[in-house]
Amino acid sequence: MILAVIAILGGFALLIWSADRFVDGAAATARHAGMPSLLIGMIVVGFGTSAPEMVVSAMAALGGNPELALGNALGSNIVNTGLVLGVTAVIAPIAVQSRIVRKELPLLLFLSLLLGALLWGNSLTRVEAGLLLAGFFALIGWSIFAALRNRTDELGSEIDQELQVHPMTLGRAIFWLVAGLLLLVVSSRVLVWGAVSVAQTMGVSDLIIGLTIVALGTSLPELAASVIATRKGEHDIAIGNVVGSNMFNLLAVVGIAGVIAPVPDLSPEILYRDWPVMLAMTLALFVMAYGFRGEGRINRIEGGILLTAFVAYNTYLVLQVTGALAGGLAVAAPGALP
C-alpha cells in the first residue's frame, strides 16, 4: 500500500513535469516549422495538455482496467470545468473574446450529449469507440481549417506572445518533444499501477479512482496553465485550454481506451451519476461563457458556482465510498450480523 501511494505521488509529479516539457517542445517545434500561432494554440497546446489523460487511459485499458480510463475522461472534464475554471474565474474573471473558442463551446456540449447516447446501453463497443476517434480526427481537420481562416483571432495573438517570451532552439525543442513524450508514458504506467493497487487494497472500484485521484492528477497541467494565463490577462488561452482539452477527452481519451478494450458491461453509476454531472457542468459553462449578446465572460460568482458544484460532487463520491467501506467492514466483523 505504501509503495502504491509513493507510485501515485511520484507518477503525478513526473507526469506534470513531463507534460509541461512535452507541450513546450511541441509548441516550439511547430513554431520552427512555420505553423501559425493560432493553430499551435488549438492543436499542439490542446493536444499536449490532454496528453496525460490520453496516455494514462491507454495504459489503463492495456492493463485491463477500462473503467479507470473512462472515469479518467469523465472526471477530467468535471475537474477542468468545475475546479480549473472555477478557481481561475474566482482569481480573476475570464473574458471570452476568441471567435474560435465561442464556436467550440456548442460543439463541446454536443459531444457531451453524444457520449451519453453511446453509453446509454451501459456498454462501449469497439465500433462506438472508433466513431469517437473518427470524430477526433474530424475535429483536428476542422481546427486546422478554422485556424487558417481566422489568423487574427485573439487566441492566436495570446499564443504568439507566449512563444516570444519563451523562445527555444530547434534542437532543444525536438529533444523535449521526444523526452517529454517518453517520460509521459513511463509516469503514466507508474501512476496507473499505483492507482489500481490502491483501489484493490481499499476495495474501491477503478471507476471511482479514475473519477477522483487520477482525474485530478492528470488535470493539474490545465489548472496551472489556466491560472497563470488568466493572471497574465491571457483569458482566451485559459478557457480555450479547458474547452479543447475537454473535447479531446471525450473523443480521443474515451476512443483510444474503447478501441483497446471495449467495455460490454459498464457500471450503471456512469449514466445516472457521473455523465449527468459532466453534462450539467458543460451546459453551465456554455451558458456562462458563450456571450449571447456580445463578449462571453465567467465572473467570480459564476466561478464560485462551478467550484461549489465540483466540491459537492466529490464530497458525494467520498461519502459513497466511505459508506460502502464502512458497510463492508461491518459485515466482515465478527458478530456484526444479528
* Mean pLDDT, rounded, for 55-68: 86
**Burial (CB count <10 Å: 0-12, 13-18, 19+), residue 92:** middle
DSSP 131-198: HHHHHHHHHHHHHHHHHHH-TT-HHHHHHHHHHHHS---HHHHHHHHHHHHHHHHHHHHHHHHHHHHH
Q: Cα separations (Å) of 10 from 7, 14, 193, 199?
A: 5, 6, 12, 17
The answer to pTM > 0.85 is no
End-to-end CA distance of the chain: 33
CB 84 within 8 A of CB 222: yes
Domains of the chain: 46-152+188-324 (1.20.1420.30)
* Most confident range, picked from 13-22, 36-45, 319-328: 13-22
Which helix or strand (DSSP H or E) is residue 321 part of? helix 300-332
Q: pLDDT tens-digit profile of 257-305?
A: 999 999 888 888 999 999 999 999 999 999 998 877 667 789 999 999 9
CA distance 21 to 27: 10
- pLDDT bin (cut points 50, 70, 90) of residue 338 is very low
- pLDDT bin (cut points 50, 70, 90) of residue 330 is low
What pLDDT was estimated at residue 204? Answer: 80
What pLDDT was estimated at residue 278? Answer: 96
C-alpha cell at 131: 466513431
* Mean pLDDT, rounded, for 55-65: 86
What pLDDT was estimated at residue 336? Answer: 46
Residue 96 β-bridge partners: 296
